[in-house]
Amino acid sequence: MGKPVWRLTVRSEFCASHALRHYEGKCENLHGHNFAVEAVVEGDRLSPGTEIVLDFKVLKGELNTVLDLLDHHNLNEVPPFDTINPSSENLARFIYTALAPRLAPHGVRMHAVTVSEKAVQSATYMECD
């Protein structure tokens, strides 16, 4: 039998504007989205007593702390998106790398972050060993 792993998923959203540099289409103009974000973490131990990996409230709170850096901003003016494109792919990576150290003290590790501009399309970032 393999080592047990539990995955927890929380979803949140933020509102922001962005313009995709070098896109050569409508999205090169400043426009806004209600971005949906899904964060997935993994843990291999349940806490004594409550037998949970991490309280969903804590996970969502940490995610929202990171999203507050982006919410209601023109992303092209927020580092690092003042120099890199604020694409869904780069947003997913930014959220993943900002969230990972916030969760390490809680005994969980990042699995993936997915960012959606619309319900029918999304970009997911994860790091593989």
Residue pair 19/26 in contact by the 8 Å Cβ criterion: no
Residue with token string 């990576």? 93
Active site residues: 27, 72, 117
Q: What is the mean pLDDT of residues 77-92?
A: 97
The pLDDT value recorded for residue 73 is 98
Q: At what angle do helices 56-67 and 88-103 cross, to 10 degrees?
A: 130
Ligand-binding annotation for 31, yes or no, is yes
Output the CATH code of domain 6-125: 3.30.479.10
**pLDDT at residue 129 greater than cutoff 80:** no
Instruction: Describe the strand order of the beta sheet including 31-43 as a list of residue ranges.
Output: 6-18, 31-43, 109-118, 121-125
pTM metric for this prediction: 0.95
- What's the full length of the chain, in residues? 129
Ligand-binding annotation for 33, yes or no, is yes
Domain boundaries, the chain: 6-125
Q: Give the pLDDT band (50/70/90) at residue 60.
A: very high
Residue pair 53/8 in contact by the 8 Å Cβ criterion: yes
Q: What is the mean pLDDT of residues 3-15?
A: 96
